[in-house]
Chains A and B, each alone.
Chain A
Amino acid sequence: MQPTETFFSGFALNDLWFLGEAALRTLWISLLAISCGSLIGIVFGWVLSVSRSGGFLLSPVLDIFRSVPLIIQLVLFYNFAPMIGLRLDPFGAGLIVLIFYTSANVAYVARGGIDAVSQSMRRAARSLGMTYWQDMRYVVWPIGLRAVFPAWVGVALGVMKDSALVSVLGYIELLKASQILITRTQETILILAIAGAFYFALSYPISLFASHLEERWSQ
């Protein structure tokens, strides 16, 4: 009798479902992080763009999230949260770190967008009697968005891929699920390829769509 045979079983159709579910979890945490992070990032970007002293204070802080590896940020925050009395599960801790990470990256994109709108155009908008916020909403937003939309998609896709790192905290997203399956089935290449295909299927259509939009807008 070979006892190992009872532990390891091959890759079954059932496992594909398990991976699919995990892919949805990857999608869910990235969607939350990208949407919240982008909102906060736009506010940060606006601060960077309009206020010199605000930018002076803000940019070193944002640089922390951009120049410390995400994996270190995750481990740090996961171990720091209990010190200030926060009880966070891996999902919560991972999400918070991802939101900050996204917002720091989006902030610079948003500043680029606001700066892409020429001063004369903004003065023209104001002289037509628009308020500051009307100018922001009807002039800066549409023009700036077109200028930096591809960059924003790049950040969003980056966050989606980087969400794989939340697996180190133990949140069972796509990569962690594939590791669990590898441990059980011992079919490393197959499962890594399937996980890769899931990521590819999430990311590639969006990047194609973004480059298509970019081409259309540049005409």
Chain B
Amino acid sequence: MFKALPDLLQAALLTLEVAAVSMILGVLIGLGLSLIRIHLKGPLMWLATIWVELARNTPALLQLFFFGFGLGAFGIHFSPYVIVLLGLTFNNAGYLAENFRGGFGAVPDTQIRAARSLGMTAFQTYTRIIIPQVLRIVYYPMTNQMVWAVLMSSLGMLVGFRELSGETQFFASRTFRIFEYFAVTAVIYYIIVKIILGASRLLAMRLFRY
């Protein structure tokens, strides 16, 4: 039983890795989607809206199956790692886009005009006036999304990805000690989430000092 612990912890790192990478990609794409939905009209805006609504209104597992088995039907095959990464990124981007949209909506137009009339360029206005305020608003939703990304990555075990859950299932099915292995894994997830929340709180104290 405890011989498996190093392997499980190794797999936990993989869980963290795929969650973090999908989160970074999700933030970038989500930012793009929200800006498209705010500023543009036409087909691009519709595409972004469809992305966001599909990601938010269908189960993550279905999205994962789509990238795994659905695209496989077209002859496009990915490794389990890529499937999970694509699924999580799709999901994260959809949820984060909606958070960002709320954040951008909360910064009043008058501030932007004030910044511009003080002689700031559009880029300066974005980086010095808008982004710091938006970051403050979307910080906690982003932390939540990171936790969800870790939890969602557990679905990887259903598409054959050997992250923490997949590795656990591998050990459990080899030894039939299903309950024991999954209990250990539950504890590991609990600790991972606590660490993320704690780290985010520390970072918030550093970021939002003023």
Enumerate chain A interface residues (CB-CB to B < 8 A).
63-64, 66-73, 75-76, 79-80, 83, 157, 161-162, 164-165, 167-168, 175, 179, 182, 187-189, 192, 195-196, 199-200, 203-204, 207
Contact partner of A67 (CB less than 8 A), chosen from B56, B62, B65, B189, is B189
B12 at the interface (CB under 8 A from A): no
**A78, B72: Cα distance in complex, Å:** 31
Please state if A199 and B62 are interface contacts (CB–CB under 8 Å): yes
Interface size class of B (residues with CB under 8 A): 35 or more
Please state if B157 and A71 are interface contacts (CB–CB under 8 Å): yes
State the majority secondary structure of interface residues on B. helix
**A68, B151: Cα distance in complex, Å:** 7
Enumerate chain B interface residues (CB-CB to A < 8 A).
53-54, 56-62, 65-66, 69-70, 72-74, 147, 151-152, 154-155, 157-158, 165, 168, 178-179, 182-183, 185-186, 189-190, 193-194
Give the chain B neighbours of A188 by CB distance below 8 A: 69-70, 72-73
- Say yes or no: A67-B147 contact (C-beta < 8 A), given A79-B178, A188-B70, A192-B62: yes
State the majority secondary structure of interface residues on A. helix
Q: Smallest CB–CB gap between A102 and chain B, Å?
A: 15
Give the chain B neighbours of A199 by CB distance below 8 A: 57-59, 62
Please state if B57 and A203 are interface contacts (CB–CB under 8 Å): yes
- Say yes or no: A67-B54 contact (C-beta < 8 A), given A72-B186, A79-B182, A175-B59: no
15 further contact pairs, Cβ within 8 A, besides A79-B178, A168-B158, A196-B62: A64-B186, A68-B151, A69-B165, A69-B189, A71-B158, A72-B186, A73-B186, A75-B182, A79-B182, A164-B59, A165-B155, A175-B62, A192-B62, A195-B62, A200-B57
Closest residue of chain A to B151 (Cβ to Cβ) is: A69
Give the chain A neighbours of B189 by CB distance below 8 A: 67-69, 72
